[in-house]
A and B are shown apart, each in its own frame.
Chain A
Amino acid sequence: MSQSSAAPTSPIVEVPSIPAREIAPWALFFGLLGLLVLFFISADQGAVSIPSGNAIHEWVHDSRHLLGYPCH
């Protein structure tokens, strides 16, 4: 029984926060991945094109219009 862990907590619920060092790798990797996915759905093969052609554009065409991204 260590003395330090026995400190009684106040009835106020503690609001935890996540240290920036822990979030950074997740945010960097998955944030960029998410933005990449959004780019392919929303902008690719309209104004800018990474694989040439318009297969992705045509396939997700209706979601571009209905989600408000510029299309044709």
Chain B
Amino acid sequence: MTARAFLVRGLLVGLLAGFATFLVAHEVGEPHVETAIALEEASSAGDRAADAGHSHDEGTEVSRPDQRTWGLLTGSVAVGVAVGGIVALVAASVVGRIGRMSPGRSTALVSLIGFVSVALVPFLKYPATPPAVGSGDTIGDRTSYFFGFVLISVAFAAFSSLLAIRLIDDIGTYAAVLAGVGVYVVAVVVAGQLMPTVNEVGDFPADVLWYFRRASLITLATLWAVIGVGLTGLVGRLHRREADVVQRRALAATL
């Protein structure tokens, strides 16, 4: 097994995940994006005189039909390939280093921890917002809070995982996993309590907000699920093939 073999598989699976993410985002998410934009335009038409115009009205115009098809496809595929590649590199660096876990299993574990720490936990603190929710003036703060929290979450996920791996030999798998998960959960809950809350919902309808957020979570889950399941399958197959070669060589040597 080589880093290159992992990376190639990760990029391939990431490309596939990008297309799947686009399909799901387009079918499940876009209707709610459209509703939100319609609401935004209705409200901004009301107070156009007072409003200096929000950040999206100036500069380059990309039409809505382009944004929700080719634009969405570009973003989904780019993120899919990037995440696929990074997950593959992390999977390559932990393979054979988590107890006696098989390459397929350690890859599945990396994907699961990746989804929880990069997507799910940050979503719980700073959930996705539809267009019309969120002020252009706070985009800088919101961006730094979000990525700050992602960084904290990923750092503690890595730390807790290393801790659990260290402890397995001393206190057993059950207690070690419990310790790792416990440290991670306490750390992100404390960090989440300490970090500022963003609430710019205003009088945006609660049902549209919920539908949008649910769709966003489904989109993120699709991205990570395709990468996790796909890469686990490909790495498992690669390992079986290499193990077969080793076994055949060993058998040939005994003859």
Give the B-binding residues of A (Cβ under 8 A). Answer: 1, 5-6, 8-9, 13-18, 20, 22-23, 26-27, 30-31, 33-35, 37-38, 40-43, 46-48, 53-55, 58-72
When A8-B250, A61-B71, A72-B136 are in contact, do A18 and B93 touch as well, CB less than 8 Å?
yes
When A47-B140, A62-B67 are in contact, do A23 and B59 touch as well, CB less than 8 Å?
no
When A41-B78, A59-B71 are in contact, do A54 and B3 touch as well, CB less than 8 Å?
no
Among B121-129, B163-171, B176-184, B201-209, the stretch in contact with A = B121-129
A18 CA to B92 CA in the complex, in Å?
7
Check if A62 sits within 8 Å of B25, measured CB to CB. yes
B100 at the A interface (CB under 8 A)? yes
Check if A41 sits within 8 Å of B75, measured CB to CB. yes
Across the interface, name the chain A residue whose C-beta is closest to B217. A68
Check if B68 sits within 8 Å of A54, measured CB to CB. no
**Which residue of the partner chain, among B3, B97, B136, B220, contacts A68 with CB atoms under 8 Å?**
B220
A30 CA to B11 CA in the complex, in Å?
10
When A31-B89, A55-B60, A66-B219 are in contact, do A18 and B2 touch as well, CB less than 8 Å?
yes
Check if A65 sits within 8 Å of B83, measured CB to CB. no
Across the interface, name the chain B residue whose C-beta is closest to A22. B3
Give the A-binding residues of B (Cβ under 8 A). Answer: 1-4, 6-7, 21, 25, 29-30, 33, 54-56, 59-62, 66-68, 70-72, 74-76, 78-79, 81-83, 85-86, 89, 92-93, 95-97, 100-103, 119, 122-123, 126-131, 134-136, 139-140, 142-144, 146-147, 212, 215-216, 219-220, 223, 239, 242-243, 246-247, 250, 253-254
A72 CA to B197 CA in the complex, in Å?
16
Chain A residues near B55 (CB-CB < 8 A): 54, 72
When A16-B1, A67-B219, A72-B136 are in contact, do A34 and B86 touch as well, CB less than 8 Å?
yes
**Which residue of the partner chain, among A53, A55, A61, A69, contacts B67 with CB atoms under 8 Å?**
A61
Q: How near does chain B come to A20, taking the closest CB pair, in angstroms?
A: 7
Q: How near does chain A come to B93, taking the closest CB pair, in angstroms?
A: 5
Q: How near does chain A come to B120, taking the closest CB pair, in angstroms?
A: 10
Q: How near does chain B come to A44, taking the closest CB pair, in angstroms?
A: 10
Q: A27-B89, A71-B139, A72-B54 are in contact. List 10 more A-B contacts (CB 8 A).
A: A15-B101, A18-B92, A33-B82, A42-B79, A58-B71, A59-B70, A60-B71, A61-B67, A68-B119, A71-B131
When A15-B102, A16-B242, A17-B96 are in contact, do A68 and B216 touch as well, CB less than 8 Å?
yes
Chain B residues near A40 (CB-CB < 8 A): 78
A69 CA to B172 CA in the complex, in Å?
39
A23 CA to B4 CA in the complex, in Å?
8
Check if B74 sits within 8 Å of A60, measured CB to CB. yes
